[in-house]
Chain A
Amino acid sequence: EAQVTQNPRYLITVTGKKLTVTCSQNMNHEYMSWYRQDPGLGLRQIYYSMNVEVTDKGDVPEGYKVSRKEKRNFPLILESPSPNQTSLYFCASSSSLAWETQYFGPGTRLLVL
């Protein structure tokens, strides 16, 4: 089954404690992206990757890091989480075809105390 998986699905942490949210896709997609969703703001892109070792900042990259060492994986790293990073995070992937849509993971709900 074609899918995007994220782990963990729920996470409560404290300010400053480094964490990683994993994302994996099994569709051999070139493009992957991380979004955060906050009430009333829609989705905002954090980082995206066009292919292995190619990443770029989205609209709200501050406080986040990513890496793309393998085509299927695109982890999101919060080196020193702060309460304003409490949010719902989605990973998405897509092929490079112009008419293709993005496939979203199930989401990771993060609470930073």
Chain B
Amino acid sequence: ELKVEQNPLFLSMQEGKNYTIYCNYSTTSDRLYWYRQDPGKSLESLFVLLSNGAVKQEGRLMASLDTKARLSTLHITAAVHDLSATYFCAVDSPGGSNYQLIWGAGTKLIIKP
């Protein structure tokens, strides 16, 4: 059974600092997704990572994928308050259809001014 674990589950940090959120998954998977959810809002797609070594960047966020280690990271550079949100990673379920996703529990990120 595929399991997806995120670390940490809660992170409080100061503006201007760098930090990394980790997403580990237990079995081989072809794709990994990162989503953002603002409080009381829906989910917004951040990145889709399709292959080993994939790296994508958008503003102060950078995501990478190591399929051999079954690990994805979401790195935050020089955090700003607007990045406060809950971040989820999700992985394709192996052996299932293309669109069965298993989700991590989410990382709640609070960035203090």
A residues near B (Cβ < 8 Å) are 31, 33, 40-45, 48, 50, 56, 58-59, 90, 92, 94, 96, 98-107
B residues near A (Cβ < 8 Å) are 4, 9, 31, 33, 41-45, 48, 50, 88, 90, 97-106
Q: How far is the CB of A48 from chain B (nearest CB, A)?
A: 6
Q: Are A104 and B43 interface neighbours, CB within 8 A?
A: yes
Q: Are A40 and B101 interface neighbours, CB within 8 A?
A: no
Inside 8 A of B106's CB, which chain A residues have their CB?
Answer: 42
Known: A43-B90, A96-B98, A101-B45. 8 other contacts (CB 8 A): A31-B99, A42-B4, A48-B97, A48-B100, A98-B98, A101-B48, A102-B99, A106-B42
Give the number of A-B contacts (CB < 8 Å). 55
Which partner residue on chain A sits nearest B33 by CB separation?
A: A101
What is the bound-complex CA distance between A59 and B99, given in angstroms? Answer: 12
Q: Are A42 and B88 interface neighbours, CB within 8 A?
A: yes
What is the bound-complex CA distance between A103 and B33, given in angstroms? Answer: 12
**Which of B41, B44, B105 is in CB contact (< 8 Å) with A42?**
B105
**Which of A50, A96, A102 is in CB contact (< 8 Å) with B45?**
A102
Known: A90-B42, A98-B50, A107-B42. A50 touches B97 (CB 8 A): yes
